[in-house]
Amino acid sequence: MTIPSPAGPENEGPQNAAPQNAAPRNEGPRPVAPRPVAPRPVAPRPAVPRSGGSGGPGGGPARALQRVTASALGPYQSAVVRIGFAATYLFFLLRELPNRHELYGPDSPWHWDLARQLTNGNEAFSVLMWTDSTVWFEAVYALTLLSAAALLLGWRTRTMSVLFMVGVLSVQNRSIFMGDGGDNVVHLMAIYLVLTRCAQVWSLDARRATRNAQRAAAGLPPLRDIVGPALWVLLGPVLVVATVMGGLGGTWWLPALLWTIWLSAAAWWAVNRYLPHGEPRTLLDVLANLAHNATLAVIMAEVCLIYATAGWYKIQGSRWQDGTALYYPLNLDYFTPWPALSDILGTSGLMVMVLTYGTVIVQVAFPFTLFNRRVKNVLLVAMICEHAGIALLLGLPFFSMAMIAADAVFLPTAFLVWLGARATIGRRRLLSGLPGRSRTPEPGAFGPAHGPAHPPEAGSVKDGRGGTEEPRLQGGGGGHTLVG
């Protein structure tokens, strides 16, 4: 007789195991190890090229076309150009305020009758040629001052850019012998700014667009705009009368430009009011972006052309070849606002030679360094320092301001973003110390510090490369139109 173990059958050792020929005990179903299943063959999928990718045919041109039509490039650079040229002409008009009658007004040696004959011959445009009234001259001068200040702040930028262009052309064409090379640069840039979307950042228009975006996110309607339509209605009859009376000069492009801008402003207003999310809105954005990007390319080419022609022209002069060209302006009374400083530089032959040859080398080499970012930035700093020296040593501050503003189109975006952030922080610290000011952080007065003020309509849209496209602007791009 066998005595069972007290531990139970589950703990029976090998000495109590049943013989091999014994019937198996009914201990329940045993777990079955799963069989390895062979993977099912999957049919290969055809490779689909990504839209705009570099691997597909035409990917590079398609991506470039998408970029130039979907967004206005260089928002910070165009804003700096706007601020720079508006400030340059504003300060110039303020400095010449006591002498305005002798330079451009009724007391000018270049009399109104002589200016009339000249403008009739070269078909130049100037509203000062409409009448020789002193009251009219004062009104035009004041309007040019106010438009320059408003353009500097980015208030109703599209309207102010047009008025700024009209004021600059009118004042300069009234007395063409008053000015220097900087006036020619301001003359051209005043026309170019009309075609750019230069109020995306650092402007009051950008702040207004940001507020409308915040209201849209909260489910509120945008702020009612009265000033924009009022400006449009006010300027329309003026444009009609000027066209009928032949007061827009003898060229065809200026009337065409003014009428196109005035009519496009009405189109922007109608589309934003009745079809804010439709295809006409997208088409207007594309056309505006194309005009902006093309104009920005023209500004870059203009700056390169200025430096290339100036540098190669200097090479042909014997004084630039022997390194003594800088000596002569440093010893002219007309170009020596600081005689002691000019004497120190003029008496050093080594310094004169280095500055003379350095000026030629920088101007000739700059257009060829645009494809190398580091070298371009070094030469850009050198040219800005050169113009600062011209302003200090030769007494040409407005020429230097105009050229530095033109050079700003090549400044790196990272530097401009950093500069804007520092300016915003400094402004907040300055205002927080004033009595009655809240210390609560508030949005920047000139738009966000790290990006254009693009208020989204329905959130960001993926661009197919892991990023997001720039959302569309309310009201025509932050002051892009006369009614925006």
Q: What is the pLDDT of residues 418-473, one digit of tens each?
A: 999 998 898 888 888 777 665 554 444 455 444 554 433 333 333 433 333 333 44
- What pLDDT, on a 0 to 100 scale, did the predictor assign at position 259? 96
CB atoms within 10 A of CB 407: 23
- CA separation for the pair 291, 315 (Å, rounded): 36
DSSP class of residue 462? Answer: B
Q: By three-state DSSP, how is residue 257 classified?
A: helix
Q: What does the radius of gyration of the chain's CA atoms come to, in whole angstroms?
A: 35
What is the token pair recorded at 202? 């650092």
Residue 468's pLDDT is 35
Q: What is the pLDDT of residues 319-359, one digit of tens each?
A: 999 999 999 999 888 888 999 999 998 899 999 999 999 99
Mean pLDDT computed over 52-68:
70
pLDDT tens digits, one per residue of 292-316: 999 999 999 999 999 999 999 999 9
And the tokens for 20? 């091999």
Helix, strand, coil percent values for the chain (each to nearest 5): 60, 0, 35
The identity of residue 434, as a single letter, is: L
d(CA 236, CA 259): 9
Nearest Cα to Cα of residue 178 among 93, 254, 248, 113: 93
pLDDT of residue 61: 86
Per-residue model confidence (pLDDT) at position 310: 93
Residue 405 confidence (pLDDT):
96
pLDDT for position 221: 86
pLDDT-based confidence at residue 202 (cuts at 50, 70, 90): very high
For residues 210-247, one letter each, b for 16 or more C-beta atoms within 10 angstroms of the residue's C-beta and e for the rest, the string is bbbbeebeeeeebeebeebeebbeebeeebeebeeeee
pLDDT surpasses 80 at 402: yes
Quote the pTM value: 0.80
Q: What is the DSSP letter of 473?
A: P
Q: Over the stretch 208-234, which tens digit does the pLDDT of each residue have? A: 999 989 998 998 888 888 999 999 999
* Token reading at 453: 């003020």
pLDDT at position 469, please?
A: 36
CA atoms within 13 A on the CB side of 451: 8
Per-residue pLDDT, 11? 39
Task: Report residue 65 as tokens.
Answer: 């076309």
What is the per-residue pLDDT across 100-151, written as a single tens digit (0 to 9) for each?
Answer: 999 999 999 999 999 999 999 999 999 999 999 999 999 999 999 999 999 9
Task: Say whether 468 sits in a helix, a strand or coil.
Answer: strand
For residue 468, what are the β-bridge partners? 462
Residue 411: what pLDDT? 95
List pLDDT tens digits, range 29-59. 455 555 555 555 554 554 444 444 444 455 6
- How does pLDDT run across 4-28, given as a tens digit for each residue? 444 443 334 444 444 444 444 444 4
Whether 447 contacts 210, CB under 8 Å: yes
Name residue 462's beta-bridge partners. 468
